[in-house]
Amino acid sequence: MEKDATKNDHSGIPESAAGVLSSGDGIPYPGLMPNLEETRRLSQDFLKRLAAFSYKKREPSTWVLFVGGTGTGKSTLFNAFCGRPLSETGVERPKTRGPVVYAHQGCTIEKGFPFRSIRLERQSSTDGHGGPLGGSPGHLLVLEHCREEWSRLVAVDTPDLDSVEARNREVAEDLYLLSDAVVFVASQEKYADEIPHRFLSRAIREQTPYFFLLNKVDKCLDEEILGTLASRGIP
């Protein structure tokens, strides 16, 4: 009988957790086969969460993620928060192609990083890199600083939640597992979009501390906007 090539495929699972499956791959479990793909998805999600939890125990920095849809002003607000033009901005197309991180030079982000599919690279935030950066798909760009008051703070500008590239959305979802707080940026054009809303609903459901910023609004918010937000648990 031909061996199932996907049976021991752990390519999408963090290295620190992949071994958990090895001994149990061949154990039959009645009732799971009709939902095999969902079972695999849930097992991979569990292992990612376990790896992220273990990583956070070793690396006690506070991670703040800036998330949102294309053109909402997420990267502009990230730059304002950091006080430097680090991340590329614009409204005509997705600018953040990979996560851009602002972290202290002594912060050991790389040690035991739980997601094998994301490659980390570092450079100084003050070395004249030629202006704001948009990051690269599959890479996590760490821009170093020496601000001691931020020695334990990791600020992250994530790829757009509604990016046409599925990989970009997956990276944002993975990094969310490391977050201690989320800054969710929406606009009058994007406040009701389904994909960003699912992400925010997850943060609310899991009681992750979050800040909801409705950017680019008129002086008087439309009652429909306020009503929609309130119906989704955002007063």
The per-residue pLDDT string of the chain (235 residues; one tens digit each, 9 = 90 and over) reads 444 444 444 555 555 555 444 444 555 555 555 677 777 878 888 889 999 999 999 888 999 999 998 889 999 999 999 998 898 886 555 555 689 999 999 999 999 999 988 889 898 876 555 555 666 777 899 999 999 999 999 999 998 888 777 788 888 899 999 999 999 999 888 877 888 888 988 999 999 999 999 888 877 777 888 888 888 888 7
Return d(Cα 87, Cα 131) in angstroms, integer: 8
3-state helix, strand, coil in the chain (%, to 5): 35, 20, 50
Per-residue pLDDT, 5: 45
Per-residue pLDDT, 44: 83
pTM of the model: 0.78
156 Cβ contact partners less than 8 Å away, ≥ 6 residues apart: 63, 64, 65, 66, 99, 100, 101, 102, 175, 179
Give 149's DSSP letter: G
Q: Which two tokens stand for residue 44?
A: 């991979």
Supply angle C-alpha 198, 101, 42, rounded to 5: 40
Per-residue pLDDT, 134: 60
Q: Which of 100, 89, 87, 93 has its CA nearest to residue 172?
A: 100
Amino acid identity of residue 132, one-letter, is P
Phi, psi of 34 (to 5 degrees): -60, -25
3-state class (DSSP) for residue 61? coil
Burial tier of 141 (Cβ tally within 10 Å: 0-12, 13-18, 19+): buried
**8 A C-beta contact, residue 88 and residue 179:** no
Phi, psi of 210 (to 5 degrees): -140, 155
